[in-house]
Chain A
Amino acid sequence: MIPELEIIKPFSLEEAVDFLNDHPAEARIIAGGTDIIPGLMQGSKRFTGIKYLVDLQQIDELKEIIADSENITIGALLTFSQMINNDSLKNNFPLLVKSASTVGSVQIRNRATVAGNFINNAPCADSVPPLLVYNAKIKLLGVNGNYEMPLSDFLIKPYFTRLKTGEIVTQIILPKPKKEFIGDFYKLGRRRGVAISRITLAALIQIEDNKLGEIRLASGAVSPIGMRFFDLEQKYSGSVISDKLLKNISSDLGKEILKVTGLRWSSEYKVPVTQQAMYLLLERICSAHKQVK
């Protein structure tokens, strides 16, 4: 059963922030509700003591998509379905849109929001690895006004972020990658539809002639939360592309993940599968690059 609570529907961001600050322990934001409602239903400890759900649906500025020459900025209430149907996002951020199309089902994607995905910060949040390789920044609003933060700094550990009580994530800022960047997204679940990810990988690589320029790699589900591999990216940036190189990157990625997770009962198969999946992803990216040329 869902515990008794009230739903507050503020008309402005200021009104929402004020309410959240007046009820710090008892109020929680609801966006799509696809995590919080089943959580309440199942009596999850993460959602105990909630007396007010602050529904932001009436605040139109949270649904806007704003494009300029450098960024596409999306409102925090944008649903996965709206993202999938947006041509400008499809053209500029294909990995993000691909990951969005693998989330849950049509019914879930019609409600669930991209911001909710990383604010919930489940290890398996599908859109997080693509957002990370696109160097997404987020805009937050609190009592002291607006500020920005890279998404990679915002995410702390499973189900925890730097979101402070009384704050709202209002926008996601996506810097458009230069055109030499090419990438792909990989998801492994137990089935295709309504599948919780077991492994997600995102790779975005700048390829110049036969060399790797900037490399951006991220994983999800197989790591405690969605994460980038900055050391690895540094190490291989500037390398000449070869089959051996792609194998080395993939092999190192597995070792890095093992360092973060520690040895688990599933490591024996998950590490080699992740390495192989990353290798195939990199191979696909490099051959797609050749075809474009």
Chain B
Amino acid sequence: MKIKVSFILNGLQVTVETEAHRRLLDLLRDDLNLTGTKEGCAIGECGACTVVMNKLAVNSCLVLAGQIDGAEIITIEGLMKNGALHSLQQKFIEKGAVQCGFCTPGMIMSAYALLLSNKNPDEEEIKEAIAGNLCRCTGYKQIIEAIADSEI
């Protein structure tokens, strides 16, 4: 059975018709063509599908479409403003924090949620914020440096 869901996505009000049991991840990727959000483990362990929901980092594989009515959701596509990359995106490039790139959107969204509540996080706080995001290429050092250098 299809339901109507209205929410704010990257600053714009959207209404979609979908099934309640669809994952937010699938809604974003398949219905709304926002493929920046990645599917990794699909059980809430790898963080590749992280988006910011009501100012908090969440795994979009663990949120169902029937739960998001009225929510405010930001994906990696929502960070660029007026054609300019967000500071986090810019710093990830500068610091070489991207290799294969698969974890990057989730990593940046976790970092974005951190910066929303803490403008000057220390290294431990950064590590805690991205502990739920697995990267198998960079070894994390460059990612931590990029986040430390970013501003919101």
With A6-B20, A7-B20, A81-B56 in contact, do A106 and B129 touch (Cβ < 8 Å)? Answer: yes
Q: Which residue in B43, B50, B56, B110 is a CB contact (below 8 Å) of A38?
A: B43
State whether A4 touches B58 (Cβ < 8 A): no
With A5-B21, A107-B57, A107-B110 in contact, do A34 and B67 touch (Cβ < 8 Å)? Answer: no
With A4-B21, A7-B20, A106-B110 in contact, do A33 and B132 touch (Cβ < 8 Å)? Answer: no
Complex alpha-carbon distance, A68 and B75, angstroms = 41
State whether B19 touches A107 (Cβ < 8 A): no
B26 to chain A, nearest CB (A): 9
Complex alpha-carbon distance, A110 and B71, angstroms = 14
Interface of B is mostly: mixed
State whether B20 touches A5 (Cβ < 8 A): yes
Complex alpha-carbon distance, A150 and B128, angstroms = 33
Complex alpha-carbon distance, A268 and B30, angstroms = 50
**A-facing residues in B1-49 (Cβ within 8 Å):** 1, 3, 19-23, 42-45, 47
| Interface size grouping (class) on chain B | 20 to 34
Contacts of A38 in B (CB 8 A): 42-44, 62
State whether B23 touches A2 (Cβ < 8 A): yes
Residue of A nearest to B19 (CB): A4
Residue B131 is within 8 A (CB to CB) of chain A in the complex: yes
A144 to chain B, nearest CB (A): 30
Residue of B nearest to A32 (CB): B62
Residue of B nearest to A111 (CB): B58
With A5-B21, A107-B110, A194-B132 in contact, do A41 and B67 touch (Cβ < 8 Å)? Answer: no
Complex alpha-carbon distance, A268 and B3, angstroms = 54
| Interface size grouping (class) on chain A | 20 to 34
Residue A55 is within 8 A (CB to CB) of chain B in the complex: yes
Complex alpha-carbon distance, A5 and B20, angstroms = 7
Q: Which residue in A3, A7, A111 is a CB contact (below 8 Å) of B66?
A: A7
- Residues 80-101 of chain A, each 1 if its beta carbon lies under 8 Å from chain B, else 0: 0100000000000000000000
Contacts of B113 in A (CB 8 A): 106
State whether B64 touches A7 (Cβ < 8 A): yes
Contacts of A110 in B (CB 8 A): 56-58
Q: Which residue of A6, A42, A110 has the most chain B CB atoms within 10 A of its CB atom?
A: A110
Complex alpha-carbon distance, A111 and B110, angstroms = 14
Residue B89 is within 8 A (CB to CB) of chain A in the complex: no
With A41-B42, A105-B131, A108-B44 in contact, do A2 and B57 touch (Cβ < 8 Å)? Answer: no
Residue A53 is within 8 A (CB to CB) of chain B in the complex: yes
- Residues 104-147 of chain A, each 1 if its beta carbon lies under 8 Å from chain B, else 0: 11111011000000000000000000000000000000000000
A75 to chain B, nearest CB (A): 18
Q: Which residue of B20, B47, B128, B129 has the most chain A CB atoms within 10 A of its CB atom?
A: B20
Contacts of B3 in A (CB 8 A): 7
Contacts of B61 in A (CB 8 A): 37, 41
State whether B59 touches A2 (Cβ < 8 A): no
B residues whose Cβ falls under 8 Å from a Cβ of A: 1, 3, 19-23, 42-45, 47, 50, 56-59, 61-64, 66-67, 110, 113-114, 128-129, 131-133
Given contacts A2-B23, A6-B66, could you give 18 more A-B pairs where the C-beta distance is less than 8 Å? A2-B22, A5-B20, A5-B21, A7-B21, A33-B63, A33-B67, A38-B43, A38-B44, A41-B61, A53-B20, A57-B67, A104-B44, A105-B47, A107-B50, A107-B62, A111-B58, A193-B131, A193-B132
Q: Which 7 A-B pairs have the closest CB atoms?
A: A105-B132, A7-B66, A193-B131, A38-B43, A110-B56, A7-B20, A107-B132
A residues whose Cβ falls under 8 Å from a Cβ of B: 2-7, 9, 30, 33-34, 37-38, 40-42, 53, 55, 57, 81, 104-108, 110-111, 192-194
